[in-house]
Amino acid sequence: MADLLQQIVSGLASGGIYASLALALVLIYRATRVVNFGQGEMAMFTTFVAWSLANHLPYWAAFALTLVIAFAGGAALELLLIRPIRDAPVLTVVTVTIGVLIGLNGLARLIWGNEPRQLESPFSTEPVRIGGVAFSLQDLGTIAVSLAIVAVLWLFFQRTKVGLGLRAAALNPSASRLVGVRVGAMLALGWGLAAVLGAVAGLMAAPALGSFDQNMMQPILLYAFAAAILGGIDSPLGAVVGGLGLGVIVNLLGTYVDVVGAELRLPVALLIILVVLLVRPAGLFGREAVRRV
Amino acid sequence: MALVWPARLLGLGAVVAVLALLPRTLEDFTNAYASDLAFVAIYFTALLGLSILTGYSGQISLGHGAFMAIGGYTTAILMSEQGLRLAGHTFSSDLRDVYTIPIAGVVAGLAGLLFGLPALRLTGLYLALATFAVAVALPQVLRRFETLTGGGTGIQLFGLPQLSGLGVEVNVFGRTLPFNDWLYYLCWSIALALLVAAWLLLRGRLGRALRAVRDSEVAAASSGVSLARYKTLAFAISAFYAGVAGSLFAIATTFVNPDVFPITLSIFLVIGAAIGGYGSLLPLLAGALFVQYVRNLGDDAADAGRLPGPVAEFLARPGGRDLVFGATLIVAMFLLPNGIGGLLRRAAEPLTSRLYTRAS
Amino acid sequence: MSALLELRDVHARYGAVKVLHGVSLSVREGEVVALLGANGAGKTTTLRTISGMVKRSGEILLAGRRIASSPEGVARAGVAHVPEGRGTFAELSVRDNLRLGAYAAGRNGGFTRAYAYFPWLEERAAQQAGTLSGGEQQMLALARALMSHPRLLLLDEPSLGLAPRVVRELFQIVRRLNEEEGLAVLVVEQNASLALDVATRAYVLETGRVALEGSSDELRANDDVRRSYLGY
């Protein structure tokens, strides 16, 4: 029983990372109708930035500064690479995000080289005992940080004027412009926020992985895709629930089902999602487009 | 529309002429070029399949590498002694075992059909990510089911581990050819035959029905086109092409293992289709060349020798080649948002519209 | 009286298709002006051109100054445009739709004015706007426009698809807004008799040009207008 609880908490910690990155994908999908294949490498790049900063600054200062840099970088990507081709076919825009994936990976190796790095965890590695069960503080910290950033973002979207403008611009761009929302600025802002979420995912993933290199986010991006699809690609709530749920399921399957083991975790997770999709073609929380045929 | 066929045949003729001339004009063709160019033909074949699916039926696949893998493993299992033993037969494998290529295509096509049926429920992005999921999962599944696939080690196609392209000769039609040259002719003959097949297939009823499905499912259904039938059919044909490409891929590499068909292969196919232009066929050649050559820019010593010093040096640094490839891809998409095919269509449009009024 | 809005020889096109061929018209402070005409005459395009949603040539002045060329800029200059189809954010709540109305205005005067004209909105503030009836959505669109304290209201086919009783109620409110608050309105309307009842002046558009203009009474008395648009 204690073991099961530990595994669930550990699954929630990975799930928080998947959820952050999945939420980033959903944000960009809602604003631009494009799945951003570069999201994982954007997160990886900011993690390397954080590693460089952490050599000179206290951890949380480096953390905060990284988020600022991530925001600027995300917005800049939208302005420079996505906006000029906003009228191109969706597949063209997706291909550009694949270009971002490959290019950023190359750039990071050019700057930081091939050797793996370590980013220390801000949380102590000492376990804490709650009701006789030992939990890793690192896991609990990861869950807390992921949920906190999601909560802050949720408040921003619901309670602020700019948040309202972001939601409106994603739902109905032309009507938004008529009420004075600068839709272009909102898109850049959305990409910036998505990059911030990705940065948080990267910063939480790095210590969990032990050491990290330029390919650190690729499996996480796959889980995030899966989580976003599971929840419904246009549903922020779905991304969070999907991410946390996937983290727990994958961890429990890998631990308790022998056939699955470490290797088949991802295929099994994907299989679950395929089955979910066949039952609910727009994901758990997604809205199904009305099609009359 | 009347201009299309002369233009196509002219294009095909030009390609055949160039392909026939290359072995005679390029220095050290067998060792330096034949194998790379065979891979161009292989990518081209797979891209034809992807373009039929996406450009004509409007369904998106981000996982065509999986169908290539199915084709490649089919050929490998049929050709290798290990595979033959598994199948309960013992007859010697031989380089003439090209009969496995159509079988590989059919097996992949059946897999496409099986996948296409449940995929009918999915649209657009969800379908794209479902195919992506299959391609991601497949290498790990292959690794796991060792008895048939040889696990992580994979399967040697021609029995002998030391057999790589160089120095081996193949007898075809009474002539002796170096392995690489044989590969070059084999891959290009099949690729161009499948190109013509695609032209013929898409010319008639099937092409019209698929385009109708792509442009408006509602309108297509209300004019009596069976959505389910044509969408699964498109998936099956597309997977057949990928399966043939995978089979050739296995023959060209002379072995298969899960790393031969990584998820990046599927991604490269998407890139190639974008460069060539979805819905195009012959222009996909540009996409195949892009995937083979721009990605590997400066990879081998001969290439590096031809490039200016600082460029070669930059490409050799860690990440340099990927940075250049990613940036080139982005610039290409900026300049050609509809690929080379889109560019050609636009260039041809004033001409065709002056000569003919469009009858659509 | 000076003109609040003035169009001088405005041309507009959608791609290769030219829709407006030199439209000149004006709306004075505190005036309700109707834009009449058959389908395809360019009425909606005129409003969209004023709002910067269509590429144009010619001059458009707001209170004597050149108007901004983007929809955001026009909205921020105090023009509220209730478009065809009402521009409702169906997924958002009634309250969020109203908040968006105030987006362009720097200050937020709160919901008092909107609730004063449409009291029922207050009880249903949390409801998803897409679940309102067509008439209610049109009222919400009008309320949303009020939130920005506009100098000029552009109304596109407010009566479209609504029951006659709802339409009367709607025009009643437009009249009150004009009389009590001095709000200037440019309204596009298929139902000419209804529009002429509330408007002081009107323009008749034909194939992208102003064919006729005059006070509502003059136009009502015009035989051509009677035959073509009033139906008697």
Complex confidence, ipTM: 0.89
Say whether B333 and A96 touch across the interface (CB within 8 A).
yes
Partnered with residue C32 across adjacent β-strands are C185
Same domain (yes/no): B274, B316: no
Same domain, B37 and B104: yes
- Compute the distance between CA of residue C116 and CA of residue C94 in angstroms, rounded to an integer: 15
Final residue before a domain boundary, out of B249, B282, B315? B282
Taking CB atoms and an 8 Å limit, are A167 and C96 in contact across chains? yes
In percent, how much of chain B has pLDDT > 90? 32
pLDDT confidence bin for B89, thresholds 50/70/90? very low
Is residue A169 within 8 Å of residue A176, measured between CB atoms? Answer: yes
Is B321 near chain A, with CB under 8 Å?
Answer: yes
Are residue B248 and residue B350 in the same domain, yes or no?
A: no
Put simply, the chain B residues between 285 and 304 with a CB less than 8 A from any chain A CB are none
- Is there an interface between C and A (3+ Cβ pairs < 8 A)? yes
**B79 and B147 belong to one structural domain:** yes
pLDDT at residue B308 greater than cutoff 80: no
A55 class by beta-carbon count within 10 Å (0-12 exposed, 13-18 middle, 19+ buried): exposed
Q: Measured between CB atoms, does C101 come within 8 Å of chain A?
A: yes
The pLDDT-based confidence of B165 (bands split at 50, 70, 90) is very low
Q: CB contact, 8 Å: A224 with chain B?
A: no
Asked if A175 contacts C87 with a C-beta cutoff of 8 angstroms, the reply is yes
Does residue B169 or residue B102 have the better pLDDT? B102
What is residue C202's three-state secondary structure?
strand
Q: Residue C150 in contact with residue C82, Cβ under 8 Å?
A: no
Indicate whether B21 belongs to any domain: no
Note whether B276 and B164 are same-domain residues: yes
pLDDT band of B168, cuts 50, 70, 90:
low
Judged by CB atoms closer than 8 Å, whether chains meet at B319 and A293 is answered as no
Q: Does C26 share its domain with C66?
A: yes
Question: Does position A96 have pLDDT exceeding 60, yes or no?
Answer: yes
Q: Report how far residue B298's alpha carbon sits from residue B309's, in angstroms, rounded to the nearest whole number.
A: 11
* Separation CA B46–CA B64 (nearest Å): 8
Q: Which position has the higher pLDDT, A197 or B121?
A: A197
Residues of A in contact with C96 (CB under 8 A): 164, 167-168
Q: Are residues B270 and A88, on separate chains, in Cβ contact within 8 Å? A: no
C131 — contact with chain A (CB < 8 Å)? Answer: no
Give the model's confidence band at B91: pLDDT under 50 very low, under 70 low, under 90 confident, else very high.
very low
Q: Which CATH number is correct for A2-279, 3.40.50, 2.60.40, 1.10.3470, 3.30.499?
A: 1.10.3470
pLDDT band at B8 (very low <50, low <70, confident <90, very high): confident
Task: Pick the closest to residue B75 from B47, B49, B42, B44 (CA basis).
Answer: B42
User: Same structural domain for residues B276 and B202?
Assistant: yes
**Is any Cβ of chain A less than 8 angstroms from the Cβ of C72?**
yes
Among C105, C131, C149, give the residue marking a domain's end: C149
DSSP notation for C113-148: HHHHH-THHHHTTTSBGGGS-HHHHHHHHHHHHHTT
Q: Count the domains in chain C.
A: 2
Would residue B17 count as lying in a domain? Answer: no
Task: With both helix axes pointing from N to C terminus, report the angle between A90-112 and B263-276 in degrees, rounded to the nearest 10.
Answer: 120
* Overall average pLDDT of the B173-188 stretch: 83
Q: How confident is the model at residue B97 (pLDDT cuts 50, 70, 90)?
A: low
What per-residue confidence (pLDDT) applies to B353? Answer: 57
Q: Are residues C172 and C203 in the same domain?
A: yes
| Number of domains making up chain B | 2
The CA distance from C229 to C232, in Å, is: 9
Mark whether B86 and B222 lie in a shared domain: yes
pLDDT digits (tens, 9 = 90+) for A4-41: 888 999 999 999 999 999 999 999 998 888 889 999 99
Identify which has the larger pLDDT, C115 or B174. C115
Which residues fall within 8 angstroms of residue C85, CB to CB, at 6 or more apart? Answer: none
Q: Please, which residues have CB within 8 angstroms of residue A202's CB and are 6 or more apart in sequence?
A: A43, A44, A46, A47, A50, A216, A217
Q: C182 or B205: whose pLDDT is higher?
A: C182
| Model confidence band, residue B85 (pLDDT cutoffs 50, 70, 90) | very low
Domain span holding position C44? 3-78+151-230
- The pLDDT value recorded for residue B84 is 45
Last residue of a domain, which of C149, C168, C197?
C149
Facing residues of C215 across strands?
Answer: C201
B143 band by pLDDT with thresholds 50, 70 and 90: confident
- For chain A, the straight-line distance linking the first and the last C-alpha, in angstroms and rounded, comes to 51
Pick A92's closest partner by Cβ from B319, B326, B337.
Answer: B337
**More reliable by pLDDT, B13 or B130:** B13
- The answer to whether residues B245 and B313 belong to one domain is no
Q: How far apart are CA C34 and CA C27, in angstroms?
A: 10
Radius of gyration of chain C (CA): 17
Residue B133 has pLDDT above 90, yes or no: no
Residue ranges making up the domain that contains B125 = 31-282
Domain ranges of chain A: 2-279
CATH code at C198? Answer: 3.40.50.300
> Could you tell me if C79 and C70 are in contact, meaning their C-beta atoms sit under 8 angstroms apart?
no
Same domain? For C165 and C222 the reply is yes
Partners of A178 on chain C (C-beta within 8 Å) are 51, 53, 71, 75, 81, 83, 87
Among residues C125, C149, C173, the one where a domain terminates is C149
By DSSP bridging, strand C65-66 and strand B255-256 are unpaired
Rounded CA gap, B294 and B326, in Å? Answer: 10
Which residues on chain B are in Cβ contact (under 8 Å) with A289?
123
* Whether C156 and C69 share a structural domain: yes
Confidence of residue B350 (pLDDT cuts 50, 70, 90): low
Q: Is residue A175 within 8 Å of residue C141, measured between CB atoms?
A: no
Contact B123 A281 (CB under 8 A): yes
Domain boundary, last residue among B282, B311, B340 = B282
Write down which chains contact chain C via at least 3 CB pairs under 8 A: A
The token duo for C196 is 């002429």
Q: Are residues C163 and C72 part of one domain?
A: yes
Q: Which chain A residues are within 8 Å of B140, Cβ to Cβ? A: 263-264, 266-267
> How would residue B304 be classed by pLDDT, with cut points 50, 70 and 90?
low
Kindly state whether residues C124 and C107 are assigned to the same domain: yes
Asked, for residue B137, whether it belongs to a domain, the answer is: yes
Q: How confident is the model at residue B172 (pLDDT cuts 50, 70, 90)?
A: low
Chain C residue whose CA is closest to A157: C96
Q: How confident is the model at residue B159 (pLDDT cuts 50, 70, 90)?
A: low
**Percent of chain C at pLDDT exceeding 90:** 59
Asked if the model's pLDDT at residue B301 lies above 70, the reply is no
pLDDT tens-digit readout, A186-213: 999 999 999 999 999 999 999 888 899 9
CB contact under 8 A, C103 and A177: no
pLDDT given at position C46? 95
C101-153 confidence digits (pLDDT tens): 989 876 666 788 889 899 999 999 999 999 999 899 999 999 999 998 899 99
C52-66 pLDDT tens trace: 999 899 999 999 999
**What are the tokens at B187?**
């891959």
- Phi and psi angles of residue A141, each rounded to the nearest 5 degrees, phi first: -65, -40
Given the DSSP bridges, would you call strands C201-206 and C209-215 parallel, antiparallel or unpaired? antiparallel
Chain B contact set for A293 (CB, 8 A): 217-218, 221, 227
Q: List subunits contacting chain A, requiring 3 or more Cβ pairs under 8 Å.
A: B, C
Q: Are A40 and A97 in contact (CB under 8 A)?
A: no
Average pLDDT over residues C189-198: 88
| pLDDT attached to residue B33 | 87
User: A217-252 in b/e burial notation, b at 16+ Cβ within 10 A?
Assistant: bbebbbbbbbbbbbbbbbbbebbbbbbbbbbbbbbb
Neighbouring C-beta atoms of residue B211, cutoff 10 Å: 17
Q: How far is C91 from chain A (nearest CA, A)?
A: 8
pLDDT of residue A165: 94
Distance from CA of C130 to the nearest CA of A (A): 12
Is C65 found in the same domain as C9?
yes
Question: How does B102-128 read in b/e, with b if 16+ C-beta sit within 10 Å?
Answer: ebbbbbbbebbbebbeebbebbebbbb
State the DSSP code for C226: I
Dihedral sign, Cα of residue A222, residue A224, residue A229, residue A230:
positive
